Amino acid sequence: MNGQVDGLLLELNPVFSAPPERIFALLTEPDGLASWWGPHGFTLPEARLDLTVGGRYRFTMKPADGDPFHLSGRFLEITPPRRLAYTFNWEEPTPDDRETTATFTLDAEGSVTRVALWHGLFATEERLALHRDGWSESFQKLRRVLESHG
């Protein structure tokens, strides 16, 4: 092997009108996560987190018209309110799923916070596109939560 990593990396860079501390709390507290996590039409009825490096988390996601499913992983880095990284595993994976890593950085720029998300590496373009859509819709929901609690 030549040192290259096989896979596809998702990168998103939303900007929110809120301080990093508020956004970090919404990324790491069960009630906060339940207010925005998942694509449109999905809820997060359960979020269990051991917010320590090496600690585990498990989320139950439920589509509007379907059975709940789960994702879980462990925290790799927790540096409030600037960085968060964790592994990401679907508990009922499709053949193209594999463990990925989600890494967030939060940088204050005046009255806004620039969030950078890197998530991957994905095995296929289809899995990357699915997660791009899911994160994009989740970030839209997060923006609404931040705006509604001004």
pLDDT at 1: 38
Query: What proportion of the chain, given as a percentage, has pLDDT over 70?
Result: 96
Task: Determine whether domain 10-148 maps to CATH 3.30.530.20.
Answer: yes
In one letter, which amino acid is 83? R
d(CA 46, CA 25): 17
Cβ proximity of 43 and 59 under 8 Å: no
Query: What proportion of the chain, given as a percentage, has pLDDT over 90?
Result: 91
Note the pTM of the prediction, 2 decimals: 0.93
Domain boundaries, the chain: 10-148
pLDDT tens for residues 15-38? 999 999 999 999 999 999 999 999
pLDDT at 150: 55
3-state secondary structure of 78: strand
Per-residue pLDDT band for 5 (boundaries 50, 70, 90) equals: low
Cβ neighbourhood burial of 30 (10 Å; 0-12, 13-18, 19+): middle
Per-residue pLDDT band for 92 (boundaries 50, 70, 90) equals: confident
pLDDT tens for residues 33-81? 999 999 999 999 999 999 999 999 999 999 999 999 999 999 999 999 9
